Chains A and B, each alone.
Chain A
Amino acid sequence: SQQGEEDPQALSIQEGENATMNCSYKTSINNLQWYRQNSGRGLVHLILIRSNEREKHSGRLRVTLDTSKKSSSLLITASRAADTASYFCATVPSGYSTLTFGKGTMLLVSP
């Protein structure tokens, strides 16, 4: 069963705009990860945030984690057409060691 649920399911923006995707999960976690998947390709790991961290940055990516609300957000600043992809959050529930993925947010960035 899905642990994480991304919101929105789909997002369409213009180049240069910011894109925000949210992830909610159900149980306590060890860490939360975000992945990107381009059409027909495998997933690419973007960023990992541990349960004791609240915010993390990597280039144009900013991830926040609120364990009290069991939610995370991924912000992509100054989006580019090349950011067009599906984005997944994946959690490692406490007591487990394997990743559980959400169903993803499809992001379309138009030139």
Chain B
Amino acid sequence: KAGVTQTPRYLIKTRGQQVTLSCSPISGHRSVSWYQQTPGQGLQFLFEYFSETQRNKGNFPGRFSGRQFSNSRSEMNVSTLELGDSALYLCASSLVAGEGQPQHFGDGTRLSIL
């Protein structure tokens, strides 16, 4: 079974631009969560989607948004990029949402803001 796939693996953007990251979950998994990982703040939860609905959202500004499609694939978008948005963005999937399910992670998209 293929794992969680995130594209692209690396991205370089400049301040003020916007970016879209993509995540394909493990086949059959309907829940997708996004995390931001930085050396200073560690792993921080961004959002969780299940059946195309956002179930939970972390404490991030409205510039961070996401969506989930009917095939469970998910995208997250960051608008008006800031230097502090440089991070590894990780996507994780699980069979169902909630209940503290073990998460299956992709290898992430490393976003660098110049």
Interface residues on chain A, size class: 20 to 34
For A100, the chain B residues whose CB sits under 8 A away are: 45
B96 to chain A, nearest CB (A): 10
* A97 and B45 contact, CB distance less than 8 A: no
* B104 and A45 contact, CB distance less than 8 A: yes
Give the nearest-CB partner of B59 in chain A: A1
Q: Is the interface of B mostly helix, strand, loop or mixed?
A: strand
* B42 and A33 contact, CB distance less than 8 A: no
Q: Does A101 contact B (CB under 8 A)?
A: yes
* Bound Cα distance A102, B41 (Å): 10
Q: Is the interface of A mostly helix, strand, loop or mixed?
A: strand
Q: List 17 A-B contacts (CB under 8 A).
A: A42-B90, A42-B105, A42-B106, A43-B43, A44-B105, A45-B104, A92-B100, A97-B55, A97-B56, A97-B98, A97-B99, A98-B45, A99-B45, A99-B103, A101-B35, A101-B42, A103-B42
B residues with a Cβ closer than 8 A to A are 4, 33, 35, 42-45, 48, 55-56, 58, 90, 92, 97-100, 102-108
